[in-house]
């Protein structure tokens, strides 16, 4: 059975990376569902932009509109209660003594994947798609390829069912993520990503930059902006299709 006959569940936060992953999955799988998590994140606005992104992708491509199925939002308030981090509390976003940024929510992606797999089990889906990335990552250990591969094995054993965790962005940087979006859906997908997705940790959507909305200062904004400009530069140099 090829991927075109199978279903996939995409971990879809409403950010740039997970939106590119969603488009990537829609291009490959017969049926695609999405899952998002509410855990008291300061940038809860990312949850609010999710329906508009799903609608925008359906408008871009008739095939995607057919493939896109249910959206699931899971309440993980307990995660916000047990973690004392800059993503869930009004504290400064900074580097800590541990060498990890204060935005790191310990085990977040492991918990997300576990809940996604549990839902996928119920829905008869074995492919999970997630936007973790080891290249431009903020130093989050649960974004590492080895962490994800270990999770794939743990989920497969622990639920006695074969799971495949796809991470199409694992080895590419933010600039290449923009290029991948262009390759999958052309300018209209890039425009939808810039206009509708949310990355800013502070939840700021009052300022519009060429790369999208955000405060422009937090690590998520800086990463997104740097990736956008690097991609533009590569386009101008002819390294990527403009």
Residues that bind Zn ion (CB under 5 A): 200, 202, 214-215, 218, 221
CA distance 142 to 105: 10
Closer residue to Zn ion, CB minimum distance, 180 or 200: 200
State the minimum distance, in angstroms, from the CB of residue 205 to Zn ion: 10
With contact defined as beta carbons under 8 Å apart, do 72 and 63 qualify?
Answer: no
Closer residue to Zn ion, CB minimum distance, 45 or 110: 45
State the minimum distance, in angstroms, from the CB of residue 220 to Zn ion: 6
CA distance 45 to 50: 9
| Residue 29 in tokens | 């799988």
CA distance 6 to 212: 33
State the minimum distance, in angstroms, from the CB of residue 154 to Zn ion: 33
* Number of Cβ within a 10 Å radius of residue 46: 25
| Residue 146 in tokens | 């080895």
CA distance 228 to 35: 26
CA distance 162 to 170: 21
State the minimum distance, in angstroms, from the CB of residue 18 to Zn ion: 17
State the minimum distance, in angstroms, from the CB of residue 137 to Zn ion: 17
Closer residue to Zn ion, CB minimum distance, 42 or 54: 42
State the minimum distance, in angstroms, from the CB of residue 161 to Zn ion: 39
Beta-carbon contacts of residue 206 (< 8 Å; ≥ 6 apart)? 213
With contact defined as beta carbons under 8 Å apart, do 201 and 120 qualify?
Answer: no
Closer residue to Zn ion, CB minimum distance, 154 or 202: 202
Closer residue to Zn ion, CB minimum distance, 58 or 215: 215
Please state whether 39 falls in left (phi above 0), alpha (psi between -120 and 50) or beta. alpha
Closer residue to Zn ion, CB minimum distance, 29 or 211: 211
Closer residue to Zn ion, CB minimum distance, 128 or 200: 200
Beta strands 212-213; 208-209: pairing state? antiparallel
State the minimum distance, in angstroms, from the CB of residue 203 to Zn ion: 8
| Residue 152 in tokens | 């794939």
């Amino acid at each position: 059975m090829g991927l075109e006959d199978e279903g996939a569940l995409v971990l879809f936060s409403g950010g740039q990376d997970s939106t590119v992953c969603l488009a990537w999955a829609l291009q490959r799988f017969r049926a695609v569902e999405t899952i998002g998590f509410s855990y008291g994140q300061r940038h809860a606005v990312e949850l609010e932009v999710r329906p508009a992104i799903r609608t925008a992708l359906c408008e871009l491509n008739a095939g995607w509109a057919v493939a896109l199925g249910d959206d699931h939002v899971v309440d993980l308030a307990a995660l916000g209660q047990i973690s004392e981090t800059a993503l869930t509390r009004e504290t400064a976003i900074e580097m800590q003594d541990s060498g990890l940024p204060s935005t790191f929510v310990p085990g977040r992606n492991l918990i997300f994947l576990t809940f996604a797999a549990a839902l996928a089990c119920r829905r008869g889906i074995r492919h999970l798609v997630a936007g973790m990335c080891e290249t431009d990552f903020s130093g989050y250990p649960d974004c590492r390829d080895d962490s994800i591969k270990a999770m794939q094995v743990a989920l497969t054993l622990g639920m006695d069912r074969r799971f495949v965790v796809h991470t199409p962005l694992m080895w590419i940087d933010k600039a290449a993520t923009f290029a991948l979006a262009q390759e999958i859906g052309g300018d209209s997908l890039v425009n939808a990503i810039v206009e509708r997705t949310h990355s800013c940790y502070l939840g700021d959507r009052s300022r519009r930059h060429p790369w999208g909305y955000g405060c422009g200062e937090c690590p998520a904004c800086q990463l997104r902006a740097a990736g956008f400009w690097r991609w533009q530069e590569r386009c101008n140099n002819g390294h990527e299709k403009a």
